[in-house]
């Protein structure tokens, strides 16, 4: 290990460029023959090392030599075809169907049987079926094997402007035995594309932001659990249902989920929240690291894919007072399409299966398979974060420098939560800075105990940053300096021996300061608006002045007695697009601008100066914890006008006077992950 570390330092010193993710995890792209639309829905490995991939187009491909050994190209053989969007594939290794491929189509789990050994399926046998409503959002996933030989599948909710369960068992996880007998396992699911069973049999599933889901999250599901979206409870009266909770038993109060769970029986809080846009935007597959070190220093931890941000994230778990909880961290971005599936290769590398049709992603390719390979270099990372009775303990992947590692100023802690309500998503709620009393660094420099100067808030997400910490050699900063720990329960144990701090940094002040910081950020947005002077001609009504900035005027100005000169209506299209590429307006004319969000996710529309859409989109990303509160609109002179973030199936009209200077102005959605794709031109003409 020492040798590895030294060689890394050597190479850094030579290049003078801080190492990036690519120095530790290489991406190897699998070449795909022309004509194969490999929109990966499911992925499994065969005992001989080949990959089997089911595609959303309905095919199953067997891919030989996926490791491209000896520089040979992979081979593709079509095993099955004509399936209905199979979003899961499993090679059975136990039981009476050992050696068969199981695919989950929209309406059934199907056994694909090759009777004559020519590696083409001859029989497609229904193993377990369920009804369909025909709604586009009725995705079905799995099966995932359990250690006891059973399997689980999950069924998405319909989308009808909100989540709905229009046919039986939508919104459920179902358990299947080898005879094809089904046991309803848990419900409250909304869009459960990824789930896994750990080696100990514990089942975890990943949820996507939506109605009743403030942010992405991973939840431990035991029999009879209710994971939060009430639509599936419609079927709780059916025979075999493990719970009798009804949709009307679940109040939409906007209180945090952990509060509501104190009174709603069966409601299960997540083990780990993945803060929306701070980590990713759409969780997908979950994989436990079973590589025993072949994939790097994270053995036993979990990796979670993200569809929209084309990246893989990392998650650690611990059990405190009988509850699962833990932290998530960034891991590796830059993959070529939207990640749906992850699979361990025989060499301990990770295959990543991707598709982005209709589910746009930052990766520009429509589909693909890539492999993440550990280069053998040790990344300087927070390996894990653990709860302590008076704070957190960070374990690093390598010893840290004593001076920066012991300095409280190298760290910061913030806590926050989300609303639990029928609305789509949630802003960050009740954010507070947690003052740090001190830091105790272990003798070997590998763990730092961060002691809070206030009682931690159970139930809240804790942002743990270690921005100032350097590696023992002093040359490296952390590859990723932030983790998010979901504190369902504060761990018991001994308090660290750190004396209370003196008056200068007493905790109540620190908390106040943070509130002031947030407020001033919002104010700045308003001040910036006035400073640009663009709102001058608008002469808004008094009500408008009181409620919105000059960049977002939602009532028609009183002086527009003849109404607007032009009304523009722009809508969204699936796949992160506006329905309008270009629209012309006359310089200085009065514009009513209607933005319709008829998509199934959140969007805004921001009108910016020519050529600045990408820059404004990037500034929006940097708003971090303040982003949602500010509608992802940065305080920038390049921003001329904007709508707020709009819920799905909602619209907002804003009024503005077009710039007097002709040019190709732009409109852009600055919701994180959208800005590079959701752009259009507002051409101002004489």
Instruction: Tell me whether residue 518 or residue 678 sits nearer to Cu ion (CB atom).
Output: 678
Say if CB 108 and CB 128 are below 8 A apart. yes
Closest-CA residue to 5 (of 448, 482, 472): 472
The conformational region for residue 71 under phi > 0 = left, psi -120 to 50 = alpha, else beta, is left
Angle at 448 between CA 446 and CA 453, to 5 degrees: 180
Q: How far apart are CA 352 and CA 305, in angstroms?
A: 9
Residues 6+ apart with CB under 8 A from 487: 325, 387, 415, 456, 457, 458, 459, 460, 461, 462
CB of 621 to Cu ion, least distance (A): 13
DSSP-derived 3-state class of residue 109: strand
Measured from the CB atom, the residue of 87 and 678 that comes closer to Cu ion is 678
> Which CB atom, from 345 or from 648, has the smaller least distance to Cu ion?
648
Longest dimension (CA), the chain: 81
CA 567 to chain centre: 36
CB of 167 to Cu ion, least distance (A): 30
Give the nearer residue to Cu ion in terms of CB position, either 410 or 604. 604
Q: Name the residue nearer to Cu ion (CB basis): 102 or 671.
A: 671
Closest contact distance (angstroms) between CB of 604 and Cu ion is 7
Q: Tell me whether residue 462 or residue 674 sits nearer to Cu ion (CB atom).
A: 674
Least separation in angstroms between residue 138's CB and Cu ion is 24
Distance CA 335, CA 673 (A): 14
What's the min distance (Å) between Cβ of 606 and Cu ion?
A: 10
Contacts of 446 by beta carbon, 8 Å cutoff, 6+ apart: 395, 396, 398, 399, 400
Collapsing DSSP to helix, strand or coil, 242 comes out as coil
- For 349, counting Cβ atoms within 10 Å of its Cβ (0-12 exposed, 13-18 middle, 19+ buried), the class is buried
Least Å from the CB of residue 576 to Cu ion: 6
CB of 681 to Cu ion, least distance (A): 17
Q: Which is nearer to Cu ion, 280 or 468 (CB)?
A: 280
Least separation in angstroms between CB 638 and Cu ion: 18
Residues binding Cu ion (CB under 5 A) = 603, 669, 671, 674, 678
Residue 640, SS3 per DSSP? strand
Question: What sign results for the dihedral spanned by CA atoms 276, 342, 93, 113?
Answer: positive
CB 206 to Cu ion: min, Å = 21
* Nearer to Cu ion among residue 465 and residue 629 (C-beta): 629
**Element counts in the chain: helices (H) and strands (E):** 6, 43
Q: Are 614 and 652 in contact (CB under 8 A)?
A: no
Give min distance, CB of 538 to Cu ion, in A: 25
Query: What phi, psi does 428 have (nearest 5°)?
Result: -70, 130
Q: Which residues on neighbouring strands pair with residue 90, listed in sequence order?
A: 102
In terms of CB distance, is 440 or 583 closer to Cu ion?
583
Cα–Cα distance measured from residue 110 to residue 91, given in angstroms and rounded to the nearest whole number: 12
Minimum distance from residue 678 beta carbon to Cu ion (Å): 5
In the complex, the smallest distance separating the C-beta of residue 210 from Cu ion, rounded to whole angstroms, is 15
The distance of closest approach from Cβ of residue 8 to Cu ion in the complex, given in angstroms and rounded to an integer, is 39
How far separated are the first and last CA of the chain, in Å rounded? 67
SS3 of 401, please?
A: coil
The angle formed by the CA atoms of residues 171, 205 and 190, to the nearest 5 degrees, is: 25
Backbone phi, psi, residue 616, to 5°: -65, -40
Secondary structure of 264-324 in HEC code, one letter for each residue: CCCECCCCEEECCCCCCCCEEEEEECCCCCCCCCCCCCEEEEECCCCEEEEEEEEEECCEE
Cβ proximity to Cu ion, 551 vs 674, nearer residue: 674
Q: Compare residues 532 and 598 and give the one whose CB is closer to Cu ion.
A: 598
Q: Which CB, 281 or 684, lies closer to Cu ion?
A: 281
**32 vs 678, beta carbon nearer Cu ion:** 678
């Amino acid at each position: 290990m020492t040798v590895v570390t030294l060689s890394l330092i050597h190479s850094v010193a030579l290049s003078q460029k801080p190492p990036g993710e690519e120095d530790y995890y290489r991406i190897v792209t699998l070449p795909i023959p022309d004509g194969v639309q490999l929109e990966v829905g499911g992925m499994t490995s065969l005992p001989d090392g080949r990959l089997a991939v089911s595609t959303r187009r309905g095919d199953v491909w067997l891919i030989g030599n996926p490791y491209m050994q000896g520089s040979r190209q992979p081979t593709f053989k079509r095993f099955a075809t004509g399936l209905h969007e199979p979003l899961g594939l499993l090679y059975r290794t136990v039981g009476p169907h050992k050696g068969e491929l199981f695919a989950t189509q929209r309406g059934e789990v199907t056994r694909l049987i090759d009777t004559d050994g020519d590696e083409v399926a001859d029989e497609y046998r229904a193993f377990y079926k369920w009804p369909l409503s025909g709604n586009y959002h009725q995705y079905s996933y799995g099966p995932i094997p359990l250690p006891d030989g059973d399997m689980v599948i999950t069924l998405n909710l319909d989308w009808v402007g909100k989540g709905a369960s229009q046919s039986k068992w939508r919104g459920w996880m179902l358990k299947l035995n080898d005879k094809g007998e089904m046991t309803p396992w848990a419900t409250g699911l909304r869009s459960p594309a990824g789930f896994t069973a750990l080696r100990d049999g514990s089942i975890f599933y990943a949820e996507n932001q939506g109605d009743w889901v403030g942010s992405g999250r991973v939840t431990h599901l035991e029999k009879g659990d209710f994971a939060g979206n009430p639509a599936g409870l419609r079927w709780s009266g059916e025979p075999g249902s493990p719970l009798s909770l009804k949709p009307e038993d679940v109040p939409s109060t906007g209180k945090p989920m952990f509060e509501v769970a104190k009174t709603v029986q069966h409601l299960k809080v997540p083990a780990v929240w993945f803060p929306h846009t701070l980590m990713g935007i759409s969780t997908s597959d979950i994989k436990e690291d079973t590589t025993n070190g072949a994939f790097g220093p994270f053995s036993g931890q979990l990796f979670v894919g993200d569809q929209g941000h084309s990246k893989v994230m990392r998650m650690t778990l611990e059990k405190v007072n009988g509850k699962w909880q833990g932290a998530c961290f960034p891991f590796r971005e830059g993959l070529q399409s939207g990640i749906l599936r992850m699979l361990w290769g025989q060499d301990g590398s990770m295959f990543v299966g991707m598709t982005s049709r209709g589910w746009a992603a930052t990766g520009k390719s429509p589909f693909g398979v890539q492999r993440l390979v550990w280069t053998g270099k040790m990344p300087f990372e927070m390996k894990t974060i653990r709860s302590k009775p008076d704070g957190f303990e960070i374990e690093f992947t390598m010893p840290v420098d004593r001076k920066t590692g012991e300095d409280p100023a190298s760290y910061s802690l913030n806590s926050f939560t989300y609303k639990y309500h029928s609305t789509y998503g949630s802003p960050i709620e009740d954010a507070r800075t947690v003052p740090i009393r001190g830091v105790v660094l272990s003798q070997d420099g590998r763990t730092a105990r961060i002691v809070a100067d206030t009682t931690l808030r159970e139930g809240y997400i804790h942002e743990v940053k270690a921005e100032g910490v350097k590696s023992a050699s002093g040359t490296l900063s952390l590859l990723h300096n932030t983790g998010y720990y979901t504190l369902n329960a504060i761990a018991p144990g001994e308090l660290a021996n750190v004396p209370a701090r003196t008056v200068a940094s007493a905790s109540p002040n620190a908390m106040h300061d943070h509130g002031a910081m947030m407020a001033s950020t919002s104010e700045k947005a308003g001040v910036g608006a006035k400073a640009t002077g663009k709102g001058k001609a608008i002469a808004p009504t008094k009500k408008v002045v009181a409620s919105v900035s000059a960049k977002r005027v939602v009532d028609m100005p009183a002086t527009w007695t003849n109404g607007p000169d032009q009304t523009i209506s722009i809508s969204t299209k699936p796949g992160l697009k506006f329905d309008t590429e270009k629209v012309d307006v006359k310089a200085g004319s009065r514009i009513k601008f209607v933005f319709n969000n008829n998509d199934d996710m959140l969007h805004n529309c921001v009108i910016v100066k020519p050529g600045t859409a990408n820059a404004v989109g990037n500034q929006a990303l940097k708003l971090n914890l303040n982003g949602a509160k500010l509608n992802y609109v940065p305080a920038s002179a390049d921003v001329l006008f904007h709508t707020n973030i709009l819920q799905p199936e909602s619209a907002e009209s804003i009024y503005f006077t077009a710039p007097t200077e002709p040019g190709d102005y732009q409109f852009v959605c600055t919701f994180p992950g959208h800005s590079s794709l959701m752009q259009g031109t507002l051409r101002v003409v004489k």
